[in-house]
Amino acid sequence: MNLDRLKETLWSEVKYVMLDMDGTLLDKYFDDYFWEHLVPEKYAEKHNITFGKAKEELMKKYKSQEGTLNWTDIDYWSRELDLDIAALKEQIRHLIEVHPHVEEFLQALKKANKKVYLVTNAHYKTLKIKMRKTQLGGYFDRVFTSFDMGIPKEEIAFWKRLQKITGFDKELTLFVDDSPDILKTAKEFGIKYLLLKLRANSREKKRPRVNEFIAIEDFRQIMYSQ
């Protein structure tokens, strides 16, 4: 299947659209800046070490929790780093931005009577900050976080629990995410239509395409022709 065929299928056959948040709907620049610049800066100040040393230590800590619930649990990181992560996020919430044409896409989905679910690993406190800033919450029929499921999206069990709750039909579902690894898990679970969102961070260079998945850089590419 190519992108044109997927687009046609989305607007004619698909009933359920599941969307990741960070990097997919929202520009990941906020998150990358936060974890790679602001948190190391505050950590360095607290421990009286250089920014470089702080970043080196933090990257090891981050890596150790990748793919677990702790990865996005800001309460965990507040305890682990002795920093008020939620308060720090509030300080730079002006950097939270929606990717181009996302709102038009969400409006079109609602107009077409699709069931639209936000499916994210984000902590509920982060979700609250971002929805308040972007005002996108009203476009979703339901919002599901990995904390609701008790397991991250990288695990098959997440998708089993989500299907049990919503009753979505795998054969009539499109899932969009910026993580190839999470898309692979969704594929293994059996979700039929998968789409990779490139340019998660608008200020980074283009990432190489993952040939396993159809990919878009802009949601205009998946909009129906006017």
Cβ atoms of residues 96 and 129 within 8 Å: yes
What is the largest distance, in Å, between two alpha-carbon atoms of the chain? 59
The average confidence (pLDDT) of the chain is 94
What confidence tens digit (pLDDT) does each residue in 185-219 have? 999 999 999 999 999 999 887 666 667 899 999 99
Query: Torsion angle, CA of 155/158/163/165, rounded to 10 degrees?
Result: 170
From the CB of residue 42, how many other CB atoms can be counted at a distance below 10 Å? 18
What confidence tens digit (pLDDT) does each residue in 117-149 have? 999 999 999 999 999 999 999 999 999 999 989
What confidence tens digit (pLDDT) does each residue in 54-84 have? 999 999 999 999 889 999 999 999 999 999 9
What's phi and psi for 53, nearest 5 deg? -65, -40
Residue 224: the pLDDT is: 79
Cβ atoms of residues 192 and 170 within 8 Å: yes
Residue boundaries of the structural domains of the chain: 3-27+97-222, 30-94
CATH placement of domain 3-27+97-222 = 3.40.50.1000
DSSP 210: -
